[in-house]
Structure 1
Amino acid sequence: MPNGSLDKYIYLENPKEILGWDKLYRIAIGIARGLEYLHHSCNTRIVHFDIKPQNILLDKDFCPKIADFGLAKLCHTKESKLSMTGARGTIGFIAPEVHSRTFGVVSTKSDVYSYGMMLLEMVGGRKNVNSVAQKSSENRDDGLQVCEVSSENEGIAKKMSVIGLWCIQILPTHRPTITKVLEMFERGLDEMGMPPRQNFGQILEDQSCNLSAESMSTSSGTERHVFSEMLKMKEMDDVN
Protein backbone atom coordinates (compact mmCIF):
# COMPACT_ATOMS: atom_id res chain seq x y z
CA MET A 1 0.00 0.00 0.00
CA PRO A 2 1.47 3.40 -1.02
CA ASN A 3 0.83 5.07 2.33
CA GLY A 4 2.05 2.25 4.53
CA SER A 5 0.36 1.32 7.80
CA LEU A 6 -1.73 3.43 10.16
CA ASP A 7 0.82 3.37 12.99
CA LYS A 8 3.19 5.32 10.75
CA TYR A 9 0.91 8.34 11.20
CA ILE A 10 -0.85 8.17 14.56
CA TYR A 11 2.29 7.86 16.68
CA LEU A 12 4.07 10.84 15.14
CA GLU A 13 4.70 13.97 17.20
CA ASN A 14 1.94 15.86 15.37
CA PRO A 15 -0.18 13.14 13.69
CA LYS A 16 -3.27 15.30 13.22
CA GLU A 17 -1.32 17.81 11.15
CA ILE A 18 -0.63 15.12 8.52
CA LEU A 19 -3.86 13.14 8.42
CA GLY A 20 -6.32 15.64 9.82
CA TRP A 21 -9.36 14.70 11.92
CA ASP A 22 -11.74 14.25 8.98
CA LYS A 23 -9.41 11.75 7.31
CA LEU A 24 -8.79 9.97 10.60
CA TYR A 25 -12.55 9.72 11.11
CA ARG A 26 -13.05 8.23 7.63
CA ILE A 27 -10.28 5.72 8.28
CA ALA A 28 -11.97 4.65 11.54
CA ILE A 29 -15.27 4.06 9.73
CA GLY A 30 -13.50 2.21 6.90
CA ILE A 31 -11.88 -0.19 9.36
CA ALA A 32 -15.26 -0.84 11.01
CA ARG A 33 -16.79 -1.60 7.61
CA GLY A 34 -13.97 -4.05 6.89
CA LEU A 35 -14.60 -5.81 10.20
CA GLU A 36 -18.32 -5.94 9.51
CA TYR A 37 -17.57 -7.70 6.23
CA LEU A 38 -15.38 -10.26 8.00
CA HIS A 39 -17.89 -10.83 10.82
CA HIS A 40 -21.19 -10.80 8.95
CA SER A 41 -20.83 -10.75 5.15
CA CYS A 42 -18.41 -13.60 4.48
CA ASN A 43 -19.79 -17.09 3.81
CA THR A 44 -17.78 -18.15 6.87
CA ARG A 45 -17.28 -15.61 9.65
CA ILE A 46 -13.69 -14.56 10.20
CA VAL A 47 -12.35 -13.32 13.55
CA HIS A 48 -9.07 -11.50 12.97
CA PHE A 49 -7.62 -11.55 16.52
CA ASP A 50 -4.90 -8.99 15.75
CA ILE A 51 -6.57 -5.67 14.96
CA LYS A 52 -4.02 -2.93 15.62
CA PRO A 53 -2.63 0.13 13.76
CA GLN A 54 0.29 -1.88 12.37
CA ASN A 55 -2.16 -4.19 10.58
CA ILE A 56 -4.16 -1.43 8.93
CA LEU A 57 -2.71 -0.55 5.52
CA LEU A 58 -3.59 2.66 3.65
CA ASP A 59 -3.89 2.94 -0.12
CA LYS A 60 -3.15 6.03 -2.19
CA ASP A 61 -6.45 7.61 -1.09
CA PHE A 62 -5.89 6.62 2.56
CA CYS A 63 -8.62 3.99 2.31
CA PRO A 64 -7.86 1.41 5.04
CA LYS A 65 -7.29 -2.29 4.34
CA ILE A 66 -7.18 -4.87 7.12
CA ALA A 67 -4.04 -7.00 6.76
CA ASP A 68 -2.14 -9.91 8.36
CA PHE A 69 -4.55 -12.79 8.93
CA GLY A 70 -1.93 -15.01 10.54
CA LEU A 71 -3.88 -15.30 13.80
CA ALA A 72 -7.37 -15.29 12.27
CA LYS A 73 -9.87 -18.09 12.89
CA LEU A 74 -12.90 -19.21 10.90
CA CYS A 75 -16.20 -19.47 12.71
CA HIS A 76 -18.50 -22.07 11.17
CA THR A 77 -21.46 -21.56 13.49
CA LYS A 78 -24.16 -18.92 13.32
CA GLU A 79 -23.52 -17.80 16.90
CA SER A 80 -19.95 -16.61 16.21
CA LYS A 81 -18.65 -18.27 19.39
CA LEU A 82 -15.20 -19.81 19.10
CA SER A 83 -13.52 -22.66 20.90
CA MET A 84 -9.79 -22.09 21.23
CA THR A 85 -6.87 -22.83 23.51
CA GLY A 86 -4.42 -20.18 24.60
CA ALA A 87 -4.43 -16.44 23.99
CA ARG A 88 -3.56 -14.82 20.69
CA GLY A 89 -3.05 -11.22 19.65
CA THR A 90 -0.92 -8.24 20.64
CA ILE A 91 -0.52 -6.92 24.17
CA GLY A 92 -2.67 -3.85 24.62
CA PHE A 93 -5.27 -5.00 22.10
CA ILE A 94 -6.20 -8.48 23.40
CA ALA A 95 -9.76 -8.74 24.71
CA PRO A 96 -10.01 -10.01 28.32
CA GLU A 97 -11.94 -13.15 27.33
CA VAL A 98 -9.18 -14.15 24.90
CA HIS A 99 -6.72 -14.06 27.80
CA SER A 100 -9.07 -15.74 30.30
CA ARG A 101 -12.44 -17.41 29.68
CA THR A 102 -13.51 -16.10 33.08
CA PHE A 103 -14.70 -12.99 31.29
CA GLY A 104 -16.89 -14.76 28.74
CA VAL A 105 -16.78 -16.55 25.41
CA VAL A 106 -14.43 -15.69 22.57
CA SER A 107 -16.32 -14.33 19.57
CA THR A 108 -16.42 -11.51 17.04
CA LYS A 109 -16.79 -9.20 20.07
CA SER A 110 -13.10 -9.89 20.73
CA ASP A 111 -12.25 -8.01 17.53
CA VAL A 112 -14.56 -5.20 18.65
CA TYR A 113 -12.45 -4.79 21.81
CA SER A 114 -9.25 -4.55 19.76
CA TYR A 115 -10.91 -2.05 17.45
CA GLY A 116 -11.92 0.07 20.44
CA MET A 117 -8.37 0.13 21.80
CA MET A 118 -7.10 1.16 18.38
CA LEU A 119 -9.75 3.88 18.12
CA LEU A 120 -8.57 5.38 21.42
CA GLU A 121 -4.98 5.33 20.19
CA MET A 122 -6.05 7.11 17.01
CA VAL A 123 -7.61 9.85 19.14
CA GLY A 124 -4.79 10.08 21.65
CA GLY A 125 -1.92 9.70 19.21
CA ARG A 126 -0.04 7.51 21.65
CA LYS A 127 0.17 3.87 22.68
CA ASN A 128 -2.24 2.83 25.42
CA VAL A 129 0.29 0.39 26.83
CA ASN A 130 3.32 2.20 28.15
CA SER A 131 5.52 0.79 30.90
CA VAL A 132 6.72 4.26 31.88
CA ALA A 133 4.09 6.87 32.68
CA GLN A 134 5.06 10.25 31.33
CA LYS A 135 4.73 13.07 33.83
CA SER A 136 5.06 16.08 31.60
CA SER A 137 2.96 19.21 32.06
CA GLU A 138 1.27 18.34 28.77
CA ASN A 139 -0.25 15.21 30.30
CA ARG A 140 -1.76 17.29 33.08
CA ASP A 141 -3.80 19.40 30.68
CA ASP A 142 -7.57 19.13 30.92
CA GLY A 143 -10.02 18.02 28.26
CA LEU A 144 -8.93 17.03 24.75
CA GLN A 145 -6.11 19.57 24.38
CA VAL A 146 -3.52 16.81 24.74
CA CYS A 147 -4.99 15.11 21.65
CA GLU A 148 -4.53 18.22 19.47
CA VAL A 149 -8.28 18.86 19.26
CA SER A 150 -9.47 22.24 18.10
CA SER A 151 -12.98 23.51 18.81
CA GLU A 152 -14.21 22.63 15.29
CA ASN A 153 -12.96 19.03 15.62
CA GLU A 154 -14.03 18.44 19.19
CA GLY A 155 -17.22 16.63 18.16
CA ILE A 156 -15.29 14.12 16.02
CA ALA A 157 -12.77 13.41 18.78
CA LYS A 158 -15.48 12.98 21.42
CA LYS A 159 -17.55 10.65 19.23
CA MET A 160 -14.53 8.46 18.46
CA SER A 161 -13.65 8.39 22.16
CA VAL A 162 -17.15 7.43 23.29
CA ILE A 163 -17.41 4.67 20.67
CA GLY A 164 -13.97 3.43 21.66
CA LEU A 165 -14.99 3.25 25.33
CA TRP A 166 -18.12 1.27 24.46
CA CYS A 167 -15.99 -1.17 22.46
CA ILE A 168 -13.57 -1.87 25.34
CA GLN A 169 -16.15 -2.89 27.92
CA ILE A 170 -14.60 -5.68 29.97
CA LEU A 171 -17.40 -8.19 29.38
CA PRO A 172 -18.11 -9.02 25.72
CA THR A 173 -21.85 -9.04 26.41
CA HIS A 174 -21.63 -5.33 27.22
CA ARG A 175 -19.89 -4.42 23.96
CA PRO A 176 -21.68 -3.50 20.74
CA THR A 177 -21.33 -5.61 17.62
CA ILE A 178 -19.33 -4.00 14.84
CA THR A 179 -22.65 -3.40 13.04
CA LYS A 180 -23.85 -1.40 16.05
CA VAL A 181 -20.55 0.49 16.02
CA LEU A 182 -21.25 1.62 12.46
CA GLU A 183 -24.72 2.71 13.53
CA MET A 184 -23.15 4.76 16.34
CA PHE A 185 -20.97 6.57 13.82
CA GLU A 186 -24.17 7.61 12.03
CA ARG A 187 -25.70 9.09 15.18
CA GLY A 188 -25.13 12.49 16.70
CA LEU A 189 -22.99 12.65 19.83
CA ASP A 190 -26.00 13.69 21.92
CA GLU A 191 -27.82 10.49 20.85
CA MET A 192 -25.15 8.21 22.32
CA GLY A 193 -25.17 7.36 25.99
CA MET A 194 -21.92 7.26 27.92
CA PRO A 195 -20.59 3.77 28.68
CA PRO A 196 -20.60 2.72 32.35
CA ARG A 197 -17.44 3.03 34.39
CA GLN A 198 -15.48 -0.19 34.54
CA ASN A 199 -14.81 -1.79 37.92
CA PHE A 200 -12.41 -4.55 36.98
CA GLY A 201 -12.23 -6.11 40.46
CA GLN A 202 -16.00 -6.24 40.93
CA ILE A 203 -16.62 -7.67 37.46
CA LEU A 204 -13.99 -10.36 38.00
CA GLU A 205 -15.53 -11.27 41.35
CA ASP A 206 -19.05 -11.44 39.89
CA GLN A 207 -17.89 -13.59 36.97
CA SER A 208 -16.06 -15.96 39.34
CA CYS A 209 -19.22 -16.33 41.42
CA ASN A 210 -21.29 -17.05 38.31
CA LEU A 211 -18.84 -19.68 37.13
CA SER A 212 -18.78 -21.26 40.58
CA ALA A 213 -22.58 -21.45 40.69
CA GLU A 214 -22.78 -22.97 37.22
CA SER A 215 -20.10 -25.54 37.98
CA MET A 216 -21.75 -26.55 41.28
CA SER A 217 -25.17 -26.98 39.64
CA THR A 218 -23.89 -29.20 36.82
CA SER A 219 -21.32 -31.30 38.71
CA SER A 220 -21.76 -34.72 40.28
CA GLY A 221 -21.43 -35.18 44.05
CA THR A 222 -17.72 -35.99 43.87
CA GLU A 223 -17.04 -33.17 41.44
CA ARG A 224 -18.91 -30.72 43.68
CA HIS A 225 -16.79 -31.76 46.66
CA VAL A 226 -13.55 -31.30 44.69
CA PHE A 227 -14.71 -27.95 43.35
CA SER A 228 -15.72 -26.83 46.86
CA GLU A 229 -12.28 -27.70 48.21
CA MET A 230 -10.64 -25.78 45.37
CA LEU A 231 -12.70 -22.69 46.24
CA LYS A 232 -11.68 -22.99 49.89
CA MET A 233 -8.01 -23.18 48.92
CA LYS A 234 -8.43 -20.12 46.69
CA GLU A 235 -10.06 -18.19 49.55
CA MET A 236 -7.18 -19.12 51.87
CA ASP A 237 -4.65 -17.94 49.29
CA ASP A 238 -6.53 -14.67 48.92
CA VAL A 239 -6.41 -14.13 52.69
CA ASN A 240 -2.70 -14.89 52.82
Structure 2
Amino acid sequence: MWIPTKSILGIPCVIVFLIYKLRRRHLSMYGVIEEFLQSHNNLIPIRYSYSNVKKMTKGFKDKLGEGGYGSVYKGKLRSGRLVAIKMLEKSKANGQDFINEVATIGRIHHVNVVQLIGYCAEGSKRALIYEFMSNGSLDKHIFPKEGLVSLRCKEAFEISLGVARGIDYLHQGCEMKILHFDIKPHNILLDENFVPKVSDFGLARLCPLEDNSLSMTAARGTMGYIAPEFFYKNIGGVSSKADIYSFGMLMMEIAGKRKNLNAFAENSSQIYFPSWVYDQFSEGKDMEIKDATDEENKITKKMLVVALWCIQMKPSDRPNSMNQVVEMLEGEIECIPIPPKPFLYPQETPSSE
Protein backbone atom coordinates (compact mmCIF):
# COMPACT_ATOMS: atom_id res chain seq x y z
CA MET A 1 0.00 0.00 0.00
CA TRP A 2 1.41 3.38 -1.08
CA ILE A 3 1.20 6.27 1.41
CA PRO A 4 2.03 9.81 0.22
CA THR A 5 5.29 11.18 1.62
CA LYS A 6 3.49 14.36 2.77
CA SER A 7 1.14 12.24 4.92
CA ILE A 8 4.06 10.47 6.58
CA LEU A 9 5.79 13.78 7.28
CA GLY A 10 2.52 15.21 8.62
CA ILE A 11 2.02 12.52 11.29
CA PRO A 12 4.82 13.75 13.63
CA CYS A 13 3.47 17.30 13.25
CA VAL A 14 0.02 16.17 14.37
CA ILE A 15 1.51 14.33 17.37
CA VAL A 16 3.60 17.37 18.35
CA PHE A 17 0.51 19.59 18.04
CA LEU A 18 -1.56 17.26 20.26
CA ILE A 19 1.20 17.12 22.88
CA TYR A 20 1.42 20.93 22.77
CA LYS A 21 -2.36 21.27 23.25
CA LEU A 22 -2.30 18.77 26.12
CA ARG A 23 0.56 20.61 27.84
CA ARG A 24 -1.23 23.96 27.34
CA ARG A 25 -4.38 22.52 28.96
CA HIS A 26 -2.42 21.14 31.93
CA LEU A 27 -0.41 24.35 32.33
CA SER A 28 -3.67 26.27 32.22
CA MET A 29 -5.13 24.07 34.97
CA TYR A 30 -2.03 24.44 37.15
CA GLY A 31 -2.17 28.19 36.55
CA VAL A 32 -5.81 28.36 37.67
CA ILE A 33 -4.99 26.44 40.86
CA GLU A 34 -1.88 28.53 41.63
CA GLU A 35 -3.74 31.78 40.97
CA PHE A 36 -6.46 30.70 43.40
CA LEU A 37 -3.93 29.74 46.09
CA GLN A 38 -2.01 33.01 45.73
CA SER A 39 -5.19 35.08 45.99
CA HIS A 40 -6.33 33.11 49.06
CA ASN A 41 -3.02 32.89 50.93
CA ASN A 42 -4.80 33.73 54.17
CA LEU A 43 -6.35 30.27 54.22
CA ILE A 44 -5.76 28.33 57.43
CA PRO A 45 -4.46 25.02 55.92
CA ILE A 46 -0.69 24.65 55.67
CA ARG A 47 0.91 24.29 52.25
CA TYR A 48 3.27 21.31 52.09
CA SER A 49 5.81 20.40 49.44
CA TYR A 50 5.54 17.13 47.53
CA SER A 51 8.70 15.90 49.26
CA ASN A 52 6.97 16.54 52.62
CA VAL A 53 3.99 14.48 51.46
CA LYS A 54 6.28 11.60 50.44
CA LYS A 55 7.91 11.66 53.89
CA MET A 56 4.54 11.74 55.66
CA THR A 57 3.39 8.64 53.78
CA LYS A 58 6.80 6.89 53.85
CA GLY A 59 6.75 6.76 50.08
CA PHE A 60 3.00 6.12 49.79
CA LYS A 61 3.34 2.84 51.65
CA ASP A 62 -0.06 2.49 53.37
CA LYS A 63 -2.98 2.89 50.94
CA LEU A 64 -6.35 3.34 52.65
CA GLY A 65 -8.49 3.32 49.52
CA GLU A 66 -9.04 4.75 46.07
CA GLY A 67 -11.75 6.29 43.93
CA GLY A 68 -12.35 8.17 40.69
CA TYR A 69 -10.24 11.09 42.00
CA GLY A 70 -7.13 9.03 42.87
CA SER A 71 -5.88 7.31 46.02
CA VAL A 72 -5.87 7.96 49.79
CA TYR A 73 -2.83 7.11 51.94
CA LYS A 74 -2.21 7.02 55.66
CA GLY A 75 0.46 9.42 56.85
CA LYS A 76 1.97 11.02 59.93
CA LEU A 77 2.95 14.63 60.59
CA ARG A 78 6.23 15.50 62.34
CA SER A 79 4.16 16.13 65.49
CA GLY A 80 3.08 12.47 65.39
CA ARG A 81 -0.50 13.25 64.38
CA LEU A 82 -2.00 10.72 61.96
CA VAL A 83 -3.46 12.07 58.72
CA ALA A 84 -5.21 10.81 55.59
CA ILE A 85 -3.68 12.13 52.36
CA LYS A 86 -5.81 12.21 49.22
CA MET A 87 -3.68 12.32 46.06
CA LEU A 88 -5.71 13.90 43.25
CA GLU A 89 -4.59 12.02 40.19
CA LYS A 90 -7.61 12.78 38.00
CA SER A 91 -8.75 16.36 38.36
CA LYS A 92 -12.15 17.58 37.21
CA ALA A 93 -13.24 20.82 35.57
CA ASN A 94 -9.82 22.47 35.26
CA GLY A 95 -8.85 21.70 38.86
CA GLN A 96 -12.14 22.94 40.26
CA ASP A 97 -12.49 19.90 42.57
CA PHE A 98 -9.19 20.80 44.29
CA ILE A 99 -10.17 24.47 44.56
CA ASN A 100 -13.61 23.51 45.94
CA GLU A 101 -12.09 21.47 48.76
CA VAL A 102 -9.64 24.18 49.83
CA ALA A 103 -12.17 27.01 49.45
CA THR A 104 -15.00 25.31 51.34
CA ILE A 105 -13.41 23.54 54.31
CA GLY A 106 -10.08 25.36 54.37
CA ARG A 107 -11.22 27.78 57.05
CA ILE A 108 -14.11 26.13 58.89
CA HIS A 109 -14.15 23.99 62.02
CA HIS A 110 -17.06 21.87 63.21
CA VAL A 111 -17.11 18.59 65.09
CA ASN A 112 -19.15 16.99 62.27
CA VAL A 113 -17.12 18.31 59.32
CA VAL A 114 -13.77 16.72 58.45
CA GLN A 115 -10.82 19.05 59.05
CA LEU A 116 -8.53 19.96 56.17
CA ILE A 117 -5.08 20.26 57.77
CA GLY A 118 -3.07 21.09 54.68
CA TYR A 119 -2.54 20.66 50.97
CA CYS A 120 0.14 20.25 48.31
CA ALA A 121 0.14 21.89 44.87
CA GLU A 122 3.28 21.39 42.77
CA GLY A 123 2.33 21.21 39.11
CA SER A 124 0.62 17.87 38.54
CA LYS A 125 1.26 16.81 42.16
CA ARG A 126 -1.84 17.76 44.14
CA ALA A 127 -2.76 16.44 47.57
CA LEU A 128 -5.28 17.20 50.30
CA ILE A 129 -4.30 16.37 53.88
CA TYR A 130 -7.11 15.59 56.34
CA GLU A 131 -7.42 14.51 59.95
CA PHE A 132 -7.27 10.70 60.10
CA MET A 133 -10.57 8.88 60.64
CA SER A 134 -9.74 5.49 62.16
CA ASN A 135 -13.16 3.91 61.55
CA GLY A 136 -13.23 4.75 57.87
CA SER A 137 -16.31 5.57 55.83
CA LEU A 138 -19.89 4.97 56.96
CA ASP A 139 -20.77 2.62 54.10
CA LYS A 140 -18.54 -0.10 55.59
CA HIS A 141 -20.66 -0.03 58.76
CA ILE A 142 -24.11 0.26 57.17
CA PHE A 143 -23.44 -2.59 54.75
CA PRO A 144 -20.84 -4.63 56.69
CA LYS A 145 -19.06 -7.55 55.07
CA GLU A 146 -19.63 -11.00 56.50
CA GLY A 147 -18.14 -11.32 59.97
CA LEU A 148 -18.28 -7.61 60.77
CA VAL A 149 -20.73 -6.23 63.33
CA SER A 150 -23.27 -3.68 62.07
CA LEU A 151 -24.09 -0.45 63.89
CA ARG A 152 -26.29 -0.62 66.97
CA CYS A 153 -29.51 1.39 66.91
CA LYS A 154 -28.24 4.15 69.23
CA GLU A 155 -25.00 4.46 67.24
CA ALA A 156 -26.97 4.71 63.99
CA PHE A 157 -29.15 7.46 65.45
CA GLU A 158 -26.22 9.46 66.87
CA ILE A 159 -24.41 9.23 63.54
CA SER A 160 -27.51 10.44 61.66
CA LEU A 161 -27.96 13.33 64.09
CA GLY A 162 -24.28 14.27 63.82
CA VAL A 163 -24.40 14.29 60.01
CA ALA A 164 -27.55 16.45 60.13
CA ARG A 165 -25.78 18.94 62.43
CA GLY A 166 -22.75 19.01 60.14
CA ILE A 167 -24.85 19.78 57.05
CA ASP A 168 -26.84 22.39 59.00
CA TYR A 169 -23.55 24.10 59.90
CA LEU A 170 -22.50 24.12 56.23
CA HIS A 171 -25.82 25.67 55.24
CA GLN A 172 -26.17 28.27 57.98
CA GLY A 173 -23.08 28.43 60.19
CA CYS A 174 -20.48 29.88 57.82
CA GLU A 175 -19.93 33.27 56.14
CA MET A 176 -21.15 31.70 52.89
CA LYS A 177 -23.70 28.93 52.45
CA ILE A 178 -21.93 25.69 51.47
CA LEU A 179 -24.04 23.26 49.44
CA HIS A 180 -22.37 19.84 49.47
CA PHE A 181 -24.26 18.10 46.62
CA ASP A 182 -22.75 14.67 47.29
CA ILE A 183 -24.05 13.44 50.66
CA LYS A 184 -23.78 9.64 50.70
CA PRO A 185 -22.41 6.90 53.02
CA HIS A 186 -18.96 6.89 51.39
CA ASN A 187 -18.54 10.62 52.10
CA ILE A 188 -19.28 10.33 55.83
CA LEU A 189 -16.17 9.43 57.84
CA LEU A 190 -16.09 8.09 61.40
CA ASP A 191 -13.43 8.82 64.01
CA GLU A 192 -12.29 6.49 66.80
CA ASN A 193 -15.44 7.31 68.80
CA PHE A 194 -17.75 6.90 65.79
CA VAL A 195 -18.33 10.66 65.61
CA PRO A 196 -19.40 11.32 61.98
CA LYS A 197 -17.71 13.92 59.79
CA VAL A 198 -18.99 15.16 56.43
CA SER A 199 -16.19 14.93 53.86
CA ASP A 200 -15.39 15.26 50.14
CA PHE A 201 -16.33 18.75 48.98
CA GLY A 202 -15.25 18.29 45.35
CA LEU A 203 -18.77 19.02 44.06
CA ALA A 204 -19.65 21.70 46.62
CA ARG A 205 -20.93 25.16 45.73
CA LEU A 206 -20.61 28.38 47.70
CA CYS A 207 -23.39 30.94 47.62
CA PRO A 208 -24.62 33.89 49.75
CA LEU A 209 -26.63 32.91 52.82
CA GLU A 210 -29.69 34.75 51.53
CA ASP A 211 -29.78 32.90 48.17
CA ASN A 212 -32.66 30.41 48.05
CA SER A 213 -31.88 28.74 44.72
CA LEU A 214 -29.05 28.17 42.27
CA SER A 215 -28.82 28.03 38.51
CA MET A 216 -27.35 24.61 37.66
CA THR A 217 -26.49 23.39 34.16
CA ALA A 218 -25.89 19.75 35.12
CA ALA A 219 -26.74 17.26 37.87
CA ARG A 220 -24.25 16.90 40.72
CA GLY A 221 -23.84 13.94 43.02
CA THR A 222 -24.20 10.17 43.02
CA MET A 223 -27.14 8.26 41.56
CA GLY A 224 -29.48 7.12 44.30
CA TYR A 225 -28.79 10.25 46.36
CA ILE A 226 -29.24 13.06 43.78
CA ALA A 227 -32.29 15.24 44.38
CA PRO A 228 -34.96 14.93 41.63
CA GLU A 229 -35.05 18.69 40.94
CA PHE A 230 -31.74 18.26 39.10
CA PHE A 231 -33.67 16.25 36.50
CA TYR A 232 -37.24 17.59 36.74
CA LYS A 233 -37.07 21.37 36.51
CA ASN A 234 -40.84 21.78 36.92
CA ILE A 235 -40.93 20.53 40.53
CA GLY A 236 -38.75 23.29 41.97
CA GLY A 237 -35.33 24.92 41.82
CA VAL A 238 -32.01 23.55 43.10
CA SER A 239 -31.25 24.77 46.62
CA SER A 240 -30.07 23.58 50.03
CA LYS A 241 -33.05 21.23 49.91
CA ALA A 242 -31.05 19.06 47.50
CA ASP A 243 -28.75 18.22 50.44
CA ILE A 244 -31.84 17.56 52.59
CA TYR A 245 -33.01 15.00 50.01
CA SER A 246 -29.59 13.30 49.90
CA PHE A 247 -29.47 13.20 53.69
CA GLY A 248 -32.91 11.57 53.76
CA MET A 249 -31.76 8.83 51.38
CA LEU A 250 -28.64 8.35 53.52
CA MET A 251 -30.59 8.10 56.79
CA MET A 252 -33.05 5.67 55.20
CA GLU A 253 -30.12 3.34 54.51
CA ILE A 254 -28.61 3.86 57.97
CA ALA A 255 -31.91 2.92 59.66
CA GLY A 256 -32.73 0.07 57.29
CA LYS A 257 -29.16 -1.27 57.02
CA ARG A 258 -29.75 -1.89 53.32
CA LYS A 259 -29.56 -0.11 49.97
CA ASN A 260 -32.64 1.92 49.09
CA LEU A 261 -32.84 0.27 45.69
CA ASN A 262 -32.31 -3.50 45.62
CA ALA A 263 -33.40 -5.41 42.52
CA PHE A 264 -32.68 -8.70 44.33
CA ALA A 265 -34.99 -8.09 47.29
CA GLU A 266 -36.89 -11.21 48.43
CA ASN A 267 -40.23 -9.50 47.90
CA SER A 268 -40.89 -7.28 44.86
CA SER A 269 -42.62 -4.75 47.15
CA GLN A 270 -39.29 -4.24 48.93
CA ILE A 271 -37.25 -3.36 45.83
CA TYR A 272 -37.57 0.38 46.57
CA PHE A 273 -37.13 0.49 50.35
CA PRO A 274 -38.67 3.97 51.01
CA SER A 275 -41.96 2.97 49.32
CA TRP A 276 -42.10 -0.26 51.31
CA VAL A 277 -41.42 1.62 54.58
CA TYR A 278 -44.20 4.09 53.78
CA ASP A 279 -46.65 1.25 53.03
CA GLN A 280 -45.80 -0.37 56.37
CA PHE A 281 -46.50 2.83 58.29
CA SER A 282 -49.65 3.71 56.34
CA GLU A 283 -51.04 0.25 57.18
CA GLY A 284 -50.39 0.89 60.86
CA LYS A 285 -47.42 -1.48 61.06
CA ASP A 286 -44.21 -0.54 62.83
CA MET A 287 -40.72 -1.61 61.81
CA GLU A 288 -39.93 -4.55 64.07
CA ILE A 289 -36.19 -5.16 64.19
CA LYS A 290 -34.95 -8.54 65.36
CA ASP A 291 -33.70 -8.53 68.98
CA ALA A 292 -34.40 -4.78 69.32
CA THR A 293 -35.97 -3.20 72.40
CA ASP A 294 -39.15 -1.10 72.22
CA GLU A 295 -37.03 2.02 72.63
CA GLU A 296 -34.77 0.99 69.72
CA ASN A 297 -37.78 0.29 67.49
CA LYS A 298 -39.12 3.74 68.39
CA ILE A 299 -35.82 5.40 67.47
CA THR A 300 -35.68 3.53 64.16
CA LYS A 301 -39.24 4.58 63.33
CA LYS A 302 -38.37 8.23 64.02
CA MET A 303 -35.34 8.04 61.72
CA LEU A 304 -37.43 6.50 58.94
CA VAL A 305 -40.32 8.97 59.25
CA VAL A 306 -37.95 11.96 59.20
CA ALA A 307 -36.15 10.41 56.21
CA LEU A 308 -39.49 10.06 54.39
CA TRP A 309 -40.10 13.78 54.87
CA CYS A 310 -36.61 14.60 53.55
CA ILE A 311 -37.04 12.59 50.33
CA GLN A 312 -40.33 14.09 49.19
CA MET A 313 -40.33 14.61 45.42
CA LYS A 314 -41.04 18.36 45.51
CA PRO A 315 -38.50 20.50 47.42
CA SER A 316 -41.38 22.55 48.87
CA ASP A 317 -42.72 19.41 50.62
CA ARG A 318 -39.44 18.72 52.43
CA PRO A 319 -38.39 20.28 55.76
CA ASN A 320 -37.53 23.98 55.39
CA SER A 321 -33.94 23.52 56.52
CA MET A 322 -31.46 21.05 58.00
CA ASN A 323 -31.99 22.84 61.30
CA GLN A 324 -35.62 21.72 61.17
CA VAL A 325 -34.44 18.16 60.42
CA VAL A 326 -32.21 18.30 63.52
CA GLU A 327 -35.18 19.48 65.62
CA MET A 328 -37.34 16.63 64.28
CA LEU A 329 -34.69 14.07 65.19
CA GLU A 330 -34.26 15.55 68.66
CA GLY A 331 -38.04 15.62 69.24
CA GLU A 332 -40.57 12.89 69.96
CA ILE A 333 -41.85 10.57 67.23
CA GLU A 334 -45.44 11.23 68.31
CA CYS A 335 -45.03 14.85 67.17
CA ILE A 336 -44.04 13.87 63.61
CA PRO A 337 -46.91 12.99 61.23
CA ILE A 338 -46.48 10.43 58.46
CA PRO A 339 -45.64 12.31 55.23
CA PRO A 340 -47.06 11.64 51.73
CA LYS A 341 -45.69 8.63 49.87
CA PRO A 342 -42.25 9.22 48.30
CA PHE A 343 -41.94 8.58 44.56
CA LEU A 344 -38.99 7.98 42.26
CA TYR A 345 -40.38 10.37 39.61
CA PRO A 346 -43.13 13.03 39.42
CA GLN A 347 -46.61 11.50 39.36
CA GLU A 348 -48.18 14.56 37.78
CA THR A 349 -46.51 17.09 35.55
CA PRO A 350 -47.91 20.56 36.19
CA SER A 351 -48.87 22.52 33.10
CA SER A 352 -46.43 25.24 32.12
CA GLU A 353 -47.53 28.78 32.82
Q: TM-score if structure 2 supplies the norm length? A: 0.54
| Percent identity between the two aligned chains | 43
- Secondary structure of the residue aligned to 2:309 is helix
Deviations 1:170-228 (A, max 9, x none): 0001111111101101211111111122467765322xx1xx11xxxxxxxxxxxxxxx
In structure 2, list runs of 5 or more residues that go unmatched.
1-132, 271-275
Partner of 1:205: 349
Deviations 1:112-131 (A, max 9, x none): 0000000000111111123x
- Secondary structure of the residue aligned to 1:169 is coil
Name which one, 1 or 2, has greater alpha-carbon Rg: 2
CA shift for structure 1 position 16? 10
1:174 partnered with 2:317: yes
- Residues 70 and 199 (structure 1 numbering): CA distance in 2 closer, same or farther, change over 3 Å? closer
Query: 2:181–2:203: 8 Å Cα contact kept in structure 1?
Result: yes
From 111, 116, 121, the counterpart of 2:243: 111
From 37, 40, 51, the counterpart of 2:183: 51
- Residues 85 and 56 (structure 1 numbering): CA distance in 2 closer, same or farther, change over 3 Å? same
Query: 1:16–1:148: 8 Å Cα contact kept in structure 2?
Result: no
- Secondary structure of the residue aligned to 1:205 is coil
Higher relative contact order (CA 8 A, sep 6+): 1
Q: Give matches, 1:123-138, under 5 Å.
A: 123-130=255-262, 132-135=263-266
Deviations 1:88-139 (A, max 9, x none): 1101000000223222100000000000000000111111123x232269x6
- Residues 199 and 23 (structure 1 numbering): CA distance in 2 closer, same or farther, change over 3 Å? closer
- Residues 37 and 16 (structure 1 numbering): CA distance in 2 closer, same or farther, change over 3 Å? farther
Q: Give matches, 1:181-220, under 5 Å.
A: 181-198=325-342, 203-206=347-350, 209=351, 212-213=352-353
Deviations 1:45-76 (A, max 9, x none): 01100000000000111111101101111112
Query: 2:176–2:206: 8 Å Cα contact kept in structure 1?
Result: yes
- Residues 22 and 16 (structure 1 numbering): CA distance in 2 closer, same or farther, change over 3 Å? farther
From 113, 116, 140, the counterpart of 1:8: 140
Partner of 2:38: none
From the two aligned structures, give the one with the greater strand fraction.
Answer: 2
1:171 maps to a residue whose letter is K
Task: Number of aligned residue pairs: give it.
Answer: 207
Partner of 1:23: 155
In structure 1, list runs of 5 or more residues that go unmatched.
214-240
- CA RMSD after TM alignment: 2.7
CA shift for structure 1 position 168? 0.3
From 90, 93, 101, the counterpart of 2:225: 93
Q: Give matches, 1:64-75, under 5 Å.
A: 64-75=196-207
